[in-house]
Amino acid sequence: MADNESATASTTDQEASKSTETKRWADVAEEEQDVAEASSTEPKLDSLAIDDSRLGHSTLTDPDDSSIEAVTSGDTPYTSAKRFEDLNLSPELLKGLYVEMKFEKPSKIQAISLPMILTPPNKNLIAQAHNGSGKTTCFVLGMLSRVDPKLTAPQALCICPTRELAIQNMEVLLKMGKFTGITSELAIPADPANYIPIQKRPPITAQVIIGTPGTICKWMLAKKLGMSQMKILVFDEADHMLAESGFRDDSVKIMKAIAKANFSCQVLLFSATFDDAVKAFVSKIVEEIFVRDYNQMFVKKEELSLESVKQYKVHCPDELSKIMVIKDRILELGEKVGQTIIFVRSRNSAAMLHKSLVSLGYEVTTIQGALKQEDRDKIIKEFKEGLTQVLISTDLLARGFDQKQVNLVVNFDLPVRYDRPTEPDYEVYLHRVGRAGRFGRKGAVFNLLCDDRDDLIMGKIEKYFNAQIAEVAPWNSEKEFEVALENAGLL
């Protein structure tokens, strides 16, 4: 029988919602934070020059075309890496990159950030880069190259907001590190059937741990996850991991424990978004806990939208017509172009849309946090293997989910803040859009609007990102949807 621990931690989103059943991380928007201003000891501005001509030519649109501002502190010189060979990686890792991953050369953000991560004194890094631009490779290579394969103890820890993302990052680590012999373990809520309380397990000896904050904290408190040999700590989706309404408490707890056990541990924080409040908090906390300077990489807010993903809005007369648009227009055309993710605001909305589409004869699957872990895993696996084409999701998959074949994203409901439903959740919007157009691929997003509030929210999103979102009108015109997909480069 599952004990209390596994029952309460049966889903990652439950880990974050200590208070109420309905408060899910995915649906919980960030609350206004009263965050102290960033430290006055700003690092020295020293933009790292990237000569694009040296990066060679890509058949894809460069996944990170816009300017990235790198702010390095101190006087460690960094040279951007034109080739993976420039990074002093082990032959085993290079083999993983070329043979397993089939990568040819570093993307722009990899070229900039990897030298900062790998060059001694291995400074801490706060890095923002576009969705789909290859951040995972930056921190997975960071972890794999800093681990000492001869030392049988946890040396790298990566913390993610959902079990789905932890599993996905682990898959990348296993593939990229295939020839290194480095050991790893997932720290995510276990299936109740296979659950062994951490107290009954031997201490963790795997060299790389990837997991969700609740489970990691549990392992840490049970003294089963030793921190004294920890060389590198990574936060994926770092803004959410350190947002007040996200996983701030657990994240800070883990950071403090590691700093106490091994003061020289390197911290990497990656995300496509860092709103001003979180950015200020993150900079302050990293400096306070690890008491040393750090490097930074940032993208301007206006340049965060993905150029390769075309965004549209569709005014629908009512909710039923939103379903009709999905059925008659988007799914019909979508079949020709690839896979589709439809984002909804709540578990209820997910269930309603699922039922409607299935009763109309469409094959769709749905993922949300209340499902059993094995069902969540199965739905993701089927979608990743291309066995299913259309996936309905709450914001559980808004961040990080990487599937190259997804080129249509539908916002059945626009993302709004949990505490203030008239306010858009800009970060979640950007992350949802970023599920299409991975690594410079083409994509399209359809925002379905059906009342004044939707209009207001859409307007605010356009203003925030300084983007004009084209309208597809009238809502039931087959021709207009075709034109939209043509303009997105998908038909």
Question: Binding marks (x or -) toward Mg ion, 395..414, rule CB under 5 A?
Answer: -----x--------------
Give DSSP secondary structure letters for 119-159.
STT--EEEEE--TTS-HHHHHHHHHHHHS-TT--S--EEEE
The secondary structure of residue 472, as a DSSP letter, is -
Residue 73 or residue 295: which is nearer to ligand ADP going by CB?
295
Partnered with residue 342 across adjacent β-strands are 392, 410
Q: Which of ligand ADP, Mg ion, none interacts with 107 (beta carbon under 5 to 8 A by kind)?
A: ligand ADP
Q: Which of ligand ADP, Mg ion, none interacts with 438 (beta carbon under 5 to 8 A by kind)?
A: ligand ADP
Residue 23 or residue 404: which is nearer to ligand ADP going by CB?
404
**How does strand 339-343 pair with strand 266-271?**
unpaired
Q: Which of Mg ion, ligand ADP, none interacts with 106 (beta carbon under 5 to 8 A by kind)?
A: ligand ADP
Residue 214 or residue 400: which is nearer to Mg ion going by CB?
400
Residue 173 or residue 323: which is nearer to ligand ADP going by CB?
173
Query: Considering only residues 277-306, where is the footprint of Mg ion by CB under 5 A?
Result: none
Q: How far apart are CA 252 and CA 174, in angstroms?
A: 27
Rounded to a whole number of angstroms, the minimum distance from the CB of residue 100 to Mg ion is 19
Cβ contacts of residue 34 below 8 Å, gap of 6+?
A: none
Question: Taking the CA of residue 487 as centre, how many other CA atoms within 13 Å lie in the half-sphere pointing to its CB?
Answer: 14
| Token pair recorded at residue 347 | 């578990």
| Token pair recorded at residue 19 | 């208070």
Residue 82 or residue 292: which is nearer to ligand ADP going by CB?
82
**Element (DSSP H or E) covering residue 6:** helix 4-8
Q: Check binding of 106 to Mg ion (CB under 5 A).
A: no
Rounded to a whole number of angstroms, the minimum distance from the CB of residue 168 to ligand ADP is 8
Query: CA 253, 211, 190 angle in degrees (round to 5)?
Result: 115
The secondary structure of residue 389, as a DSSP letter, is S
Rounded to a whole number of angstroms, the minimum distance from the CB of residue 97 to ligand ADP is 8
Scan for tokens 């089963």, then name that residue.
224
Rounded to a whole number of angstroms, the minimum distance from the CB of residue 131 to Mg ion is 7
Rounded to a whole number of angstroms, the minimum distance from the CB of residue 434 to Mg ion is 9
Cβ contacts of residue 281 below 8 Å, gap of 6+?
A: 33, 35, 36, 242
Q: Which of Mg ion, ligand ADP, none interacts with 389 (beta carbon under 5 to 8 A by kind)?
A: none
| Token pair recorded at residue 380 | 């993701």
Torsion angle of the four alpha carbons 429, 19, 420, 315, in this order, in degrees rounded to the nearest 10 = 50
The binding site for ligand ADP (CB under 6 A) comprises: 103, 106-107, 110, 129, 131-137, 402, 404, 438-439
Q: Check binding of 132 to Mg ion (CB under 5 A).
A: no
Residue 90 or residue 228: which is nearer to ligand ADP going by CB?
90
Helical ranges in 330-433 per DSSP H:
332-337, 347-359, 373-384, 426-433
Query: CA 470, 474, 477 angle in degrees (round to 5)?
Result: 105
Residue 204 or residue 268: which is nearer to Mg ion going by CB?
268
Task: State the residue number with the nearest CB to Mg ion.
Answer: 400
> Which range in 19-27, 29-37, 132-140, 351-359 contacts Mg ion by CB under 5 A?
132-140
Residue 172 or residue 364: which is nearer to ligand ADP going by CB?
172
Residue 135 or residue 313: which is nearer to ligand ADP going by CB?
135
Rounded to a whole number of angstroms, the minimum distance from the CB of residue 437 to ligand ADP is 10
Q: How far apart are CA 412 and CA 426, in angstroms?
A: 16
Secondary structure, 3-state, 10-34: CCHHHHHCCCCCCCCCCCCCCCCCC
Rounded to a whole number of angstroms, the minimum distance from the CB of residue 259 to ligand ADP is 26
Q: Which of Mg ion, ligand ADP, none interacts with 12 (beta carbon under 5 to 8 A by kind)?
A: none
Q: How far apart are CA 10 and CA 184, in angstroms?
A: 22
Rounded to a whole number of angstroms, the minimum distance from the CB of residue 27 to ligand ADP is 21
Q: Are 391 and 423 in contact (CB under 8 A)?
A: no
In single-letter form, the type of residue at position 423 comes to: E
Rounded to a whole number of angstroms, the minimum distance from the CB of residue 289 to ligand ADP is 24
Residue 132 or residue 415: which is nearer to ligand ADP going by CB?
132
The site for Mg ion, by CB under 5 A, has a size of 2
Residue 131 or residue 389: which is nearer to ligand ADP going by CB?
131
Q: How far apart are CA 258 and CA 219, in angstroms?
A: 13
Q: Which of ligand ADP, Mg ion, none interacts with 133 (beta carbon under 5 to 8 A by kind)?
A: ligand ADP
Rounded to a whole number of angstroms, the minimum distance from the CB of residue 259 to Mg ion is 25
Helical packing angle, 213-221 and 248-261, nearest 10°: 40
Rounded to a whole number of angstroms, the minimum distance from the CB of residue 135 to Mg ion is 5
Provide the binding-site residues for Mg ion, judged by CB under 5 A: 135, 400
